[in-house]
Structure 1
């Protein structure tokens, strides 16, 4: 019996073709709530970004954000895991010597050192405004949960990871990566949330479309890749549904008898 379902945002809940949440998905979420099934966001995004997206008026039980590093519900924080300060100091020093645009993500703030064409391209691709420019040296004295370097080649990616030994990366765009603690990830955040709600992994389901959903898919009981998902995610998924613009979430929930077709 499915007691909780986790949803990625971009390409899963939110279509960047229509820049909206499909109506069928909105109906599905409403029916899941009526059935008493918990619904959770599981995303790489920050809380401040979600306010500006057309998901802000949808109701969820809780949120696994920053790829599992910051998890909360309406009552407060369930779990958080910042990046080791040694790694943050190292990337700040690297940027000072060899500048590249990079977002630093705190609990309530996210900010970047500067914008360039790569930042504009990536932000346009995810329907999100350019991040605020601030002095990134504040990261020396504030907990950082995620960093997002832009305009990063594979060679630069390896240099960054070499100086951040407590971290791992996820590439979600050809021009951007997410860097989080090595012991983090959506799977880790979901594990802590399930402990809080006394739910077993086999009683859960997840929907996603990208590389940062792989560890989530390997943890939950039933994993559904969107039709528009990457091939590597489809290969680890329990099943593949239709794409986001063809009622993928709703159709999968009906297929597995979690919802009845209207």
Structure 2
């Protein structure tokens, strides 16, 4: 589907040479950010998504956003597709058509993001919210970059890996690979994100390194030793701070499915 007019348009160039950014960086003479001499507080919302009902999902997200703002958090991160829940993941634990359709209907449209943006602005905290964003006939696994004024800085649509055939490509449309974003967030620095298995795409990682990412967010539904080692490897290879965020799925929610869902807990 075509990008919604209210969303930031994707850049024309995905890979290769990147133009220098005019945004301030730590060490710049007049940089209005925390810098390396002051602490940066980054937190993730350790919360299970509200799997059905966009209104309730946004309300729960706002509760955590306001809490983060009251505790002096500079950047709050949610897990992959947190709003309204990971459609691909829950396809495997709630295979009934009724559950699938309810999740699909709960995916927000661009024009339905205003309550979330308003909440972020009121809490005065930078937020990266992974969501299932519906655009036209497509639903994209998406990361929203929202600054502490409530402004939507960038939208990244996940580029699916070649081996992500099921259930990922059943639910998600494929991002074009043209909107890998590095955004400047006040009191933090230059922030980027790749979703799940995107973090294994070498050219995607190269693009973010070339754009000068400093704080690398890696929301994912993957758990285990391989994921942990890869996050550490990225930090060393890309010379960035990497924040890995796994999905929380309670035992009670898993029991609503057909069983065998415990391995999906994050």
Question: Same fold by TM-score, threshold 0.5 exceeded?
Answer: no
TM-score (norm 2): 0.31
Instruction: From the two aligned structures, give the one with the greater helix fraction.
Output: 1
